[in-house]
């Protein structure tokens, strides 16, 4: 609605050659000015509040556009990015034991013991988990971060890449590029049953939280190390190592890792670890190989993941209190394999899929447990994970997004190291990157 203001505003008219007198009808203003007529200029018109605000909005829009035009913006195409393997010699990759390879070729959960007949589908020896304090972890080879892996750094210098990292150190940062490129795409839970009430289509708050990495300069190469400042070893990480050894060794060999065993297991050195190396642009990735089956497509390699039940994950510091929680049902909100799968889709599945792609693997092998007992197994190939994360079994979309994520990370790390060149150690300079949800 048009209305006048106590004091008339003078602006230049857009209609050139026509003059209009600006008349102030406010009596109070006339009295204040001694009753004199307000001085007007040719070409001035009175403006409403709405017109003034629109004019100001247009001016701000022009300023923002000029600032945007000044930015160095380029277009990135996934078909122009090359993700390629680096061929190196490696020791034999272990295979699954106890006939667990059947799980690889049967979709869905494979129970260790049938709940109705009580018949075991696999060796009952797998059911009871060796307590962490009875396993000889000293016999396992030591895990080396990217900055401490001299073989990795030497390979980078030989290949000519500038940045290097492991799948575990890079996956947390790459997750945020998925949020950016997919515009926080909602998760697809069409595979869940009607017995599962109101599944949330969004990632958990912990998964969406910020992640940090260190760039450590090592003789011309920047090693990407995950920030472990606030991470402490817990029962799930300890059992993850021992259960991986259990699933890929025979019973007699695994018993040698028991601390009370008279026959000790031979200490493993770093030469026993198997890795896949891949590169894209200036980045080289190292991926540890857990297990292989030549009948699987591609390289036949897959990752081993141990999944603790919800009661352990939510309170791992007092895990004894939650060790009575069991997986009794296939479907349902609680005490079910479906619950564990649902929680995984909102928390770790994105990280798992990125690690599979970085390592040129086929999928992940899951073992569900409650610290004391294993309940069952499941194999998820990459199309299965993409169906949840990208809404389709075709892996093309996920592959393109993965290559674009690496390309963007490459650009950011290059700009950071150009700004702070040859910084040694834990550099005090910080580079922040934000991915915001506009909803």
Q: Which of 192, 213, 174 is nearest to 344 (CA)?
A: 192
Choosing from 69, 96, 114, the residue where a domain stops is 69
Classify residue 25 by burial, with Cβ atoms within 10 Å: 0-12, 13-18, 19+: exposed
- Most confident option among 127-136, 209-218, 429-438: 127-136
pLDDT at 38 over 60: no
Per-residue pLDDT band for 179 (boundaries 50, 70, 90) equals very high
Q: Are residues 17 and 109 in the same domain?
A: no
Indicate the pairing of strand 374-381 with strand 363-369: antiparallel
Give the chain's count of helices (H) and strands (E). Answer: 13, 13
DSSP 8-state secondary structure symbol assigned to residue 295? T
For 253-293, write each residue's pLDDT tens digit: 999 999 999 988 877 766 668 999 999 999 999 999 999 99
Q: What is the pLDDT, as a whole number, of residue 25?
A: 45
Whether residue 383 sits in one domain with residue 300: yes
Query: Residue 341 — very low, low, confident or very high, per pLDDT cuts 50/70/90?
Result: very high
Question: What is the rounded (10 degree) CA torsion for 394, 399, 400, 404?
Answer: 160
Q: What is the pLDDT of residue 271?
A: 62
Of 436 and 267, more confident: 267
Q: What is the pLDDT of residues 293-324, one digit of tens each?
A: 999 999 999 999 999 999 999 998 888 888 99
Residues 44 and 192 in one domain: no
Residue 183 shares a structural domain with residue 48: no
Q: Does residue 37 carry a pLDDT above 60? A: no
Residue 354 counted as domain residue: yes
pLDDT given for residue 103 in this prediction: 98
Q: Verify that 46 and 158 share a domain, yes or no.
A: no
Bigger pLDDT: 436 or 139? 139
- pLDDT at residue 386, rounded to an integer: 98
- Report if residue 425 sits inside a domain: no
Position 21 confidence tier, pLDDT thresholds 50, 70, 90:
very low
Tell me, yes or no, whether 102 and 43 share the same domain.
Answer: no
Q: For residue 393, tell me if it sits in a domain.
A: yes
- 353 shares a domain with 235: yes
Q: Please report whether residue 122 resides in a domain.
A: yes
**Which domain does 203 fall in, by range?**
88-419
Highest-scoring range by mean pLDDT, 9-18, 49-58, 400-409, 428-437: 400-409
- Please report the pLDDT score of residue 71 as a whole number: 80
Residues 174 and 59 in one domain: no
The answer to whether residue 436 is domain-embedded is: no
Nearest CA-CA partner of 280 in 389, 406, 436, 411 = 406
Nearest to 105 by CA among 94, 96, 114: 96
pLDDT, mean of residues 22-40: 45
Q: Average pLDDT, stretch 418-439?
A: 63
Angle at CA 13, nearest 5°, toward 10 and 18? 115
What is the reported pLDDT for 16? Answer: 44
Max mean pLDDT among 12-21, 153-162, 430-439 falls in 153-162
Percent of the chain with pLDDT over 70: 84
Asked if residue 78 is part of any domain, the answer here is: no
Whole-number mean pLDDT of the chain? 86
Q: How confident is the model at residue 231 (pLDDT cuts 50, 70, 90)?
A: confident
- Report the domain count for the chain: 2
Same domain, 158 and 258: yes
pLDDT at residue 427, rounded to an integer? 47
Least confident stretch, 53-62, 341-350, 413-422: 53-62
Q: Decide if 430 is inside a domain.
A: no
What tokens appear for 405 in the block? 């994520």
Where residue 428 falls among pLDDT bands split at 50, 70, 90?
low
CA–CA separation, 313 vs 311, rounded Å?
A: 6
Give the model's confidence band at 204: pLDDT under 50 very low, under 70 low, under 90 confident, else very high.
very high
Measured CA angle at 322 (ends 319, 326), to 5 deg: 130
Average pLDDT over residues 26-47: 48
Q: 165 with 44, same domain?
A: no
Q: Does residue 148 sit within a domain?
A: yes
Residues 389 and 296 in one domain: yes
Extract the runs of DSSP E, i.e. beta strands, from 192-346. Answer: 213-218, 221-226, 275-280, 283-288, 291-292, 301-308
Structure pTM?
A: 0.83
Report whether pLDDT(348) > 80.
Answer: yes
Residues 201, 298: one domain? yes
């Amino acid at each position: 609605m048009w209305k006048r203001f106590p004091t008339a505003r003078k602006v230049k008219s857009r209609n050139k050659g026509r003059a209009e007198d600006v008349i102030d009808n406010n009596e109070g203003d006339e009295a204040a000015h001694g009753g004199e007529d307000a001085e007007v200029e040719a070409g001035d018109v009175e403006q409403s509040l709405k017109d003034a605000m629109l004019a100001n909005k247009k001016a701000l829009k022009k300023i923002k556009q000029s600032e945007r035009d000044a930015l160095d913006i380029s277009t990135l195409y996934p078909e122009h990015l090359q993700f390629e393997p680096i061929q190196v010699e490696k020791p034999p990759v272990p295979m699954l034991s106890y006939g667990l390879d059947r799980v690889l070729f049967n979709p869905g959960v494979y129970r260790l013991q049938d709940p109705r007949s009580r018949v075991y589908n696999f060796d009952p020896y797998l059911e009871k988990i060796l307590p962490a304090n009875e396993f000889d972890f000293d016999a396992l080879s030591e895990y080396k971060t990217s900055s401490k892996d001299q073989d990795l750094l030497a390979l980078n210098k030989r290949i000519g890449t500038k940045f290097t990292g492991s799948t575990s150190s890079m996956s947390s940062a790459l997750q945020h590029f998925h949020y950016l490129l997919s515009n926080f795409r909602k998760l697809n839970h069409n595979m869940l049953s009607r017995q599962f009430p109101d599944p949330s289509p969004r990632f958990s708050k912990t998964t969406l939280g910020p992640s940090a990495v260190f760039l450590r300069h090592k003789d011309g190469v920047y090693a990407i190390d995950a920030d472990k400042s606030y991470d402490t070893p817990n029962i799930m990480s300890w059992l993850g190592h021992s259960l991986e050894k259990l699933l890929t060794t025979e019973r007699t060999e695994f018993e040698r890792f028991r601390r009370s065993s008279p026959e000790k297991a031979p200490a493993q050195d770093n030469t026993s670890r198997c890795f896949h190396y891949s590169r894209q642009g200036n980045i080289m990735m190292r991926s540890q190989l857990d297990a292989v089956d030549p009948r699987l497509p591609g390289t036949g390699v897959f990752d081993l993941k141990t999944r603790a039940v919800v009661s352990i994950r939510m309170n791992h510091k007092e895990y004894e209190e939650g060790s009575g929680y069991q997986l009794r049902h296939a479907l349902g909100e609680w005490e079910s394999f479906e619950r564990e799968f649902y929680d995984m889709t909102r928390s770790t599945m994105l990280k798992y899929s990125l690690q599979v792609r970085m390592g040129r693997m086929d999928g992940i092998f899951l073992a569900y447990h409650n610290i004391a007992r294993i309940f069952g197994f499941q194999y998820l190939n990459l199309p299965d994970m993409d169906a949840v994360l990208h809404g389709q079994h075709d892996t093309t979309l996920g592959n393109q997004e993965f290559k674009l994520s690496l390309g963007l990370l490459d650009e950011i790390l290059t700009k950071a190291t150009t700004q702070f060149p040859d910084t040694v150690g834990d550099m005090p300079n910080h580079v922040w990157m934000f991915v915001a949800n506009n909803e």
